[in-house]
Amino acid sequence: MIATHVAGALLGTEWKQGELWNNLNISFGFVAPAFLLCSGITLWVAMQRRASDPAQAGNGFKKLLRRAGMIVLLGYWLQIPVLSARQLVWRQDPSELARLFDSNILQVIGVAMAALIVCAQLAQSLSTTRWVAALLAVGIVVATPYVWGSNLHHSVWLPFKAYVAPQPVASFSLFPHAGYFLVGFVVAPLLVRGGRWRFLFPLLAAFCSASAAFFLDAWIGGFPPHNNYWHGSIQHTFFRLAGIVGLIAIAQVVASRFPFRPVQPGGQESGSTLIEKIGARSLSIYVLHLMLIYGSPVNMGMTGWLNGRFHNAWDPVICVLSGIGITLLCYGAVILWERIGREYPQARVWGKRLWWIAFWGLFLTIP
């Protein structure tokens, strides 16, 4: 994700052409769907753990629902264009309002999370919830080319317009992006199980998905609205799913051959792997790198530094070094914050409170 955003925001336009860039740009297209699919897997794991403990199930699901709401609000917070509520209300600038009510990947995750959590609470069954998620995923994937090819978003109220709008009107609408999250939730039990041959399911799934993409394109690819392959088509969604689960299969093969988890003298595994630690901090890293590259209501991003001199102006080597630096900086900041929380828990609590008090105080009082 960081590499994708660094290339998109900082790589010089003269480098964004030719076959090499086109292939690289196609690979970037797998990043957000992979993030969404892994988020769906994570939700299933979290819900399964809570469901296995009846004493904590109700309270645990409420916490997950609050977290889903927090993720949605955080997505909107990142998009506040000016640090003044009165300017937003009175100026009514169309570009500022469009940015504020855009739907990014956090809104997709939060909305999909909330829908599945409510479904699980109503059905009182994770198995039933998976079936509902599967039906929703199919419906969203099939409906996407029709939704994107229509003018539906023009008749939707502005705060919800981006949820059904095609790209680039919306950064990430629910169509088809919520489908990746739902697919992750559905296939999670088959992906997270252990065993030496656990890579066989994602390998088979990748083959089936790639075959579906090929045959669907040959069958319906010549007819509208399916003839725009790279713009929300069903076959393109299957193409991305094939790449994602194929990479998961490769990762599982590597993990089985090179177990990185620390092992105690008695032979028991202990601690978490580096990948698991990064995954647990992925939301914080995601938010921090967006703030650093694109900015936020409280800071100017790198794209705005020196009057935008860095925006689409760097060569590939500088971009690679910058991506590494941003990754290390964000990960280090998260580790430092966690250490403060362990050693000075009250200081971290009050630090968070003061941050939000200061932000909302400025946002509501600045003319």
Per-residue pLDDT reduced to its tens digit, 227-241: 999 999 999 999 999
* Residue 39 near residue 45 (C-beta atoms within 8 A): no
**Residue 271: band (very low, low, confident or very high) from pLDDT cuts 50, 70, 90:** low
Amino acid type, 33: P
pTM (predicted TM-score) = 0.92
* Residue 292 near residue 354 (C-beta atoms within 8 A): no
Residue 143 has pLDDT above 80, yes or no: yes
Kindly report the average pLDDT of the chain as a whole number: 90
CA dihedral 25, 199, 285, 5 (to 10 degrees): 0
CA dihedral 342, 344, 345, 350 (to 10 degrees): -140
From 73-77, 173-177, 230-234, 280-284, the region with the lowest mean pLDDT: 280-284
Spell out the alpha helix ranges (H) of the chain.
Answer: 2-10, 18-28, 31-51, 54-78, 85-91, 94-100, 105-123, 126-149, 158-161, 174-191, 200-220, 234-257, 274-280, 282-293, 305-308, 316-343, 345-365
Reference 285, options 341, 331, 322; nearest CA is 331
Report the pLDDT value the prediction gives residue 256, as an integer from 0 to 100. Answer: 74
Other Cβ atoms within 10 Å of 11 Cβ, number: 21
* Residue 303 near residue 322 (C-beta atoms within 8 A): no
Measured in degrees and rounded to the nearest 5, phi and psi for residue 12 equal -60, 145
Q: Which residues pair with 222 in a beta bridge?
A: none
Tell me which residue has tokens 């689960």: 245
* Residue 133 near residue 116 (C-beta atoms within 8 A): yes
Alpha-carbon distances, residue 219 vs 212, 231, 235 (angstroms): 10, 17, 10
From 159-163, 219-223, 224-228, 249-253, the region with the lowest mean pLDDT: 249-253
Residue 159 has pLDDT above 80, yes or no: yes
Residue 295 host element (H or E): strand 295-296
**Residue 53: band (very low, low, confident or very high) from pLDDT cuts 50, 70, 90:** confident
* Residue 141 near residue 113 (C-beta atoms within 8 A): no
Report the pLDDT value the prediction gives residue 51, as an integer from 0 to 100. Answer: 81
Tell me which residue has tokens 């809570």: 50
Residue 192 has pLDDT above 90, yes or no: no
pLDDT in tens, 285-319: 999 999 999 999 999 999 999 999 999 999 999 99
Q: How far apart are CA 31 and CA 27, in angstroms?
A: 8
Question: Widest CA span of the chain, in angstroms?
Answer: 67
From 50-54, 214-218, 224-228, 245-249, the region with the lowest mean pLDDT: 50-54
Measured in degrees and rounded to the nearest 5, phi and psi for residue 6 equal -65, -45
Residue 163 has pLDDT above 90, yes or no: yes
pLDDT in tens, 313-349: 999 999 999 999 999 999 999 999 999 999 999 999 9
Structure tokens at 264: 């105690």
**Residue 52: band (very low, low, confident or very high) from pLDDT cuts 50, 70, 90:** confident
Report the pLDDT value the prediction gives residue 338, as an integer from 0 to 100. Answer: 92
**Residue 275: band (very low, low, confident or very high) from pLDDT cuts 50, 70, 90:** low
**Residue 198: band (very low, low, confident or very high) from pLDDT cuts 50, 70, 90:** confident
CA dihedral 153, 156, 95, 93 (to 10 degrees): 160
Residue 250 has pLDDT above 60, yes or no: yes
DSSP 28-59: HTTHHHHHHHHHHHHHHHHHHHHHT-HHHHHH
Q: How far apart are CA 297 and CA 295, in angstroms?
A: 7
If phi > 0 it is left, if psi is from -120 to 50 it is alpha, else beta; for residue 170 that is: beta
CA 16 centroid distance within chain:
24
